[in-house]
Amino acid sequence: MTVNKKVFLFLREAGCCLHCSLRFMRERNPDSYLNIKDFIKERGLEDGGGTDSPGHKVQKCNPCVVCAGLLQHCVDDHTVQEIAAQVGGYDADRFALAVSLPVSLGVRAHALWLHAGERCTAEAGVRDEGDVTALKDVWKWLVAPRLARLLGKEPDGGASCGFTVSVPVAYEDEEEECRPLHQLYRQNGWRSKLRSGGPTRKGTELILKDTDDAVFRKRFPVPPGVPARAVSIRAEGVACQHGSVYLAGRYLKFSRTLSQTPWLIDGERKMKESVEELIAPRVQRAVAAASYKFSSSGREDVDVRTLGRGRPFVLDLLDARRTKLSPRDVRRLEQEINQSTQDVAVRDLQIVPKEQLAELKQGEEEKTKRYVALCVSRDPVTRRALDRLGFVTDLQVMQKMPVRVLHRRPASCRPRVVHSMRAWLVPDDPARDPDDARAGLFKLEVVTQAGTYVKELVHGDFGRTTPSLGALLGDISVDILALDVMAVSLDWPPAVNYDM
């Protein structure tokens, strides 16, 4: 584009800094701002009026009437060094820079637009206030390269960048300058459309867009005045945030007195520990994460063990400072967890992309699970009777919500499929014939659709599960003494070859 000198000088005389003058003329090239003196010289935009020209007098020592000095004082080496000093401990190679600006800067920009709108439209090719190059973009173009050199990280403006450095900007005269804006906010019914605490930056844009120009001119100076203080704007604090890191694996549970997650009822803890608490805090410390979320492919009851290859789970690690875990690091973490407790073990730990998490949730309802239950019958049961269970395939059972969970789940009736069964007698006396009809103990291996209540499948839950195991054995009374999850048929995450 061709930068119009007349418009440039007009903006300078109105009190704009060099950078904001280019912003209002729709300059989009970051290099123009990084090398602004060379750019102005090459384009012949120097103020030809010398030191006595209006533009020179306004800008000699005053902060910009639009950015309040943000692009004059908050892009220097001192500011960048202060930001860099607060970014520590993160091992990310790239970073995205974000800035939060005071609301009053938006008001000042609108006031200048009203003052210079016709001239900008006619001579600079700026058709709408939205065409003005964003203040936050120019600030990031000026700060990011120098911050990158100090941090030893590459700047990344993409939305997918995992690590963000956010810089809030404070303006000392914000409250005073925004008082008329708050009056507009209250009087024009915006309270019902925006949050009650006052207009946000986005809300300010809506208010200014819907406010008549004549009304605005009565409440705000047009053009905007020079800020009352020579230096009134500053970068105040830094907030760093790393996107989630997902560590997946499988856990085995060997205890019959351990819940999967912390068990609290009315604020009172019912179990000293949980599977989650035996695994997650150690992982959290290893990656220096601010917090975590634990998810798994289904859950087992407190008194149910999970054996075999274990149950798939994932930890969503929030704002982790250490994200570059080698296979050796993960293996060492796995061993540390397994050596810390006899109740739980983990295997196949690995970092996974977010896209794979859908497979974990699909496994909760779509996959099959294999259980082994220790059952007892009050009535005689023979091996021959149990053998007949081996002919059961893809049996549909109807299960009403179990009595034991009705207090926390809505009543419903769900169909579930029992894919296969196999049972064998367990003599309570080693000297007794295992075919003895009086033997009441037997084991049941059952493969079911995920989500099947296996305990209720065995004892019938007062007729709420039909058919039950007792019905299949000839309407006898059967109960369950112990239950183990032997396999969750979800091949996720993939098995880890520890020999590699």
Catalytic residues: 301
Round to whole Å and give the CA distance between 113 and 65: 12
What SS3 class is residue 484?
strand
Tokens 């002919």: give the residue.
391
Round to whole Å and give the CA distance between 289 and 150: 24
Lookup: tokens for 152: 């030893």
DSSP code, position 50:
G
Cα dihedral value 462, 465, 470, 474, nearest 10: 110
Round to whole Å and give the CA distance between 77 and 185: 38
Amino acid at 285: R
- Beta-bridge mates of residue 166: 98, 239
What SS3 class is residue 192?
helix
DSSP code, position 407:
T
How many H-runs (helices) and E-runs (strands) does the chain carry?
Answer: 18, 17
* Number of other residues whose CB lies within 10 A of the CB of residue 213: 12
Q: Which residues contact 462 (CB under 8 A, 6 or more apart)?
A: 403
Amino acid at 68: A
What SS3 class is residue 331?
helix
* Backbone angles phi and psi of 253, in degrees to 5: -120, 120
- Which value, in Å, is the radius of gyration of the alpha carbons in the chain? 35
For residue 330, the surrounding DSSP H or E stretch is helix 327-340
Round to whole Å and give the CA distance between 137 and 99: 9
Round to whole Å and give the CA distance between 116 and 121: 8
